[in-house]
Structures are given as structure tokens and as C-alpha cells.
A and B are shown apart, each in its own frame.
Chain A
Amino acid sequence: MTLMAEVGQKAFDLGVPLAVHLDVTYRCNERCVHCYLDHDDHGEMDTAEIKSVLDQLAEAGVFFLTLSGGEVFLRRDFFEIVEHARRLLFNVKIKTNAVMIGTAEAQRLRALNVDTVQISLYSHRAEVHDAITKLPHSFERTVKAVEFLRDQGLRVTIANVLMTANLVDQYGVQKLAAELGVHYTVDPTITPMMDGDMSVLALRIPGEELAEVFRNPALVPNQDEFCAPPPPPSDEDLEGYSCSAGHSFCYISPYGDVFPCVQFPLPTGNMRRQTFLDIWNHSPQMNEVRSIQARDLTTCSSCSHVASCSRCPGLAYMEGNMRGPSTADCEKSFYRTGMPTANMLRQGLARPQSAATRSAPLVQIQPVVALA
């Protein structure tokens, strides 16, 4: 086990929020076809409120801080926020589309010793990228920003969200990242929009195509292990937990709402009315999330994939039951290994029901302040 993994396990066991994802805005200058956010400002936290959030996170033991959005650079106080975060000695990662980053911004991020800048890039072809972002010339601006940041010596990762519109471009983006001398990561997850609109799910890569992604040796180096049929789950596996959501990780919205994860829209409290530690330690919802072991899962506890599945409790929650299966992950497990899941067998399906075609209503993130 690496030192980092050991520390992660220690934080998990102790219930320390080692990592937090903070969206500082939902506003954006792009209109990506697959985005789950609305882009209006429903009452973002101001500078002083965000600084107070950061103070409380540092006090609670948070080490890894991801600042994201929306587009973070649309906040005029963004550098002030980063400066405050670095003064508090967070390891800061920024997620951005980078179209507002020029040499001066890159230099400032370097001076602030930001750890990583993750930049969304959908294609190596300008016309495809711009069609997804709906912002003309965004490809050109984003790639230039990657160069500015790289030239400052910053660690840059190109994040390639895969969907039907750009599936064939994954190798092209990977090659472009290599040419630019930056890291590359790929993610085939498309989530429903926060207003409940599920039309974006039609952009999800069909399951058959997922198998192709999983068998790309450049993306998955340990093919044999990754795609092997799962061994029978042990007692230890059944005592395990799905992921770090609510255990050592959580998400905070621009309105101060705290959730177990960015992909887990269960409101647990609001930092405009409560302290972070009050929510983290005493929220009944947070405590419920962290109480769920694999043996408590309604269908998945009897599934042969239970130990190796990427089952996301947040996606399961969006389907109506945080203890239930996440259809998208059932699909991934099936196409990764060729073995049907318990959820499929229960429904008598030989192939997974595509998450993209589900018609059941999904639970979505709603700002707690707006509901109050």
C-alpha cells in the first residue's frame, strides 16, 4: 500500500474529511451539451463566506481541496479565494475550461503553488470541441491555456469526458495531451441535469461501446486483472463501503449546501446556518450514508461483482435508493467482465438495461436555501 493510500485509509477509518470538492460558482461561459448544471446564480456565497468555509475546512482537517464550478474564473475574487486556501496550506486542485487563462493568470497560479489544474477538453478537433462547449474558438483558447500553464511548470491534466458526440476522438485527445506534455484522464460518466432533465443521458456511451473503452490498453494497462470475472465476495468484502463519500470526502455547493459527494445529491446541511463540523459529525443524512456496508445493499449484496464494482451510491440515490444498484455501474461491470450482475438477473435481463433509456424520475441536487 502506498503512503498516500495508507493516509487515505486512516482518514476513512477516523472519519476525517481528507478531501473536499467546493464549487465556487455554477455560472459558466460555456454551454456544454452534457453539463448537469444550470448556469444561473441562485445566491452564491460571497468572498467572506467562502473564506469562512475554507477556515472551517482547514480546522476540520481537510488537506485536498478541489475548486471547481461552473467556470471558476468567472468569479472576480477567484484568486483571492485561492490565495486564502494556500495560506491555509491546502493542496489545491482547480478544475476549469481554461478559456480565461492567459500568461498572467498562469503565472499567478504558479506563484500560488497550485498543485494541479484540470482542464476539460472534449476533442482534438476544434469543430467537435466547440460544438460540445457551444463556445466558438474555445478549443483554441483552451489549448493555448494548457501551453501557458505547462510553460509555467504547473501540473496540467486534460480531462476528456466521453459521450456519443466525441467517442471516436479519445485517442486523438490522448495523443494531443502527450504532444502537449500533460496528463490525460478519461471519464465516461454523464449525469442527469440538476433540474431533473434526463435528456442528457442520451449522450451516454452505449454499453457495447464501453467495452471498447475498457479494452483500450492505453487507458487500462492491467487489462487481464481489470476485466477478469469477479471472485466470490468474502466476508471482508461485505463489510466494505462503496466509496469515500461521507467518510473522508464531501461536496459543497456555491450556496453552502453540503452533500456526501458532487454526484450524490442528498442534502446534509448548509454552511450559512451550521458549522461544517456540525454537519460533518452530526447530520443524520451524512451518518446514514456512512453506515451503509456492502452487506446492507438490497440487490448488490448478493451480486458477484460487489467487491469490484464501481457502484456509485450517489447514482443509486438518484435512481431512488442509496442502498440499491446504480444501473450505470451495473452496465460497466457487465461490459468490463462479461458477467451479468444480480440486478440484471433479478430483472431477467441478458444484457443491461441502458441507464440512458430509463424513464423513472431521478432525484436531483436542489439548493437547500432555495427550498427553505
Chain B
Amino acid sequence: MPEMYIARSSAIAARMLAGEMMVMNSADSTFFTLNEVATAIWKAADGRTPLSQIVRDHICKMFDVEYSKAQADAERFVADLAGHGILLVSDRPFVVEQAQ
């Protein structure tokens, strides 16, 4: 299975509110709030760190969850946000610097 790299789309607006990340896509005004786990993945989506490493280093450690389950959940979450244009997904690292 190839590595998955994730980057935040430059089209989005985002801000933390009471522990949850608000995210809005300017392209279609879709608005999300991300829970703690999703927020941790979103914050770590720098385009250079493989998703598997994000899950291992952030999710498993922060939330005391088994790797295989966390990875499966993370992949579903990434697919969902990618479908809404919030995250970009690639099988190789992104070269464009993230806005933030």
C-alpha cells in the first residue's frame, strides 16, 4: 500500500473554537467542525509527513488508540475531507509550502 500524504487546501478558512477546529471551504461554503482527533490530523497535514506517521506519532499517542484502527479511521476521515476539497491527498510529498 503506497504512503498517503495530506495537505490542507489553500481555499479553506480555519480557526479553533473551544477545542474544535472550524473549517470552511470558500469554493462552496461548506462548513465543518472537526473533533479532537480530526483536528489533530488536520493540524499535522503539512504535505510532507506520511499519514501513517501522523497516526502513529499524533493520534495513537494522544488518544491511546490501536494503530490499525486509528489508521483506518484516519483514511476514512481524509477521504471525506478530500471529497469536500478541504484536504489534498497524494502518494508523494507536496512541494508547495502550506499557508499558515
Contact = CB atoms under 8 A, between A and B. Distances in A.
Interface of A: 3-4, 7, 10-11, 14, 16, 18, 58, 61-63, 86-92, 113-115, 153, 155
Number of chain B interface residues as a range: 10 to 19
Interface in B1-34: 10-18, 22, 24, 26-27, 29, 31-33
A198 to B, nearest CB: 38
B17 A113 contact: no
A370 to B, nearest CB: 33
A91 B15 CA distance: 9
A11 B16 CA distance: 11
Interface string B78-91: 00000000000000
Given A3-B33, A7-B33, A91 B17 contact: no
B17 A89 contact: no
B33 A18 contact: no
Nearest to A91: B13
Listed residue (B10, B15, B16, B22) with the most chain A CB atoms within 10 angstroms of its CB: B15
Contact of A87 (B11, B12, B100): B100
B50 to A, nearest CB: 24
Nearest to A87: B99
Given A3-B31, A18-B17, A61-B16, A113 B24 contact: no
Contacts of B10: 113
Interface string B28-47: 01011100000000000000
Contact of A114 (B22, B26, B31): B26
Contacts of A155: 26, 29
A3 B26 CA distance: 16
Given A7-B33, A86-B99, A155-B29, A91 B24 contact: yes
Given A7-B17, A14-B18, A16-B17, A91 B26 contact: yes
Contacts of A10: 17-18
Contacts of A88: 100
B15 A63 contact: yes
Given A7-B17, A63-B15, 11 more contacts: A7-B22, A11-B17, A61-B17, A86-B99, A88-B100, A89-B12, A89-B13, A89-B100, A91-B26, A113-B27, A114-B26
Contact of B17 (A63, A87, A115): A63
Nearest to A60: B15
Contacts of B15: 58, 61-63, 89-90
Given A62-B15, A113-B11, A89 B26 contact: no
B16 A89 contact: no
Given A7-B17, A86-B99, A115 B24 contact: yes
A4 B12 contact: no
A87 B99 CA distance: 5
Contacts of B31: 3-4, 7
A61 B24 CA distance: 15
A89 B18 CA distance: 17
13 contacts: A7-B31, A11-B17, A14-B17, A16-B18, A18-B17, A89-B15, A89-B99, A90-B15, A91-B24, A91-B26, A115-B13, A153-B27, A155-B26
A145 to B, nearest CB: 19
B98 to A, nearest CB: 10
Contacts of B32: 3
Q: Which 3 A-B pairs have the closest CB atoms?
A: A91-B13, A63-B15, A113-B11
A114 B27 CA distance: 9
A65 B16 CA distance: 15
Contacts of A63: 13, 15, 17, 22, 24
A3 B100 CA distance: 25
Contacts of A89: 12-15, 99-100
A89 B22 CA distance: 11
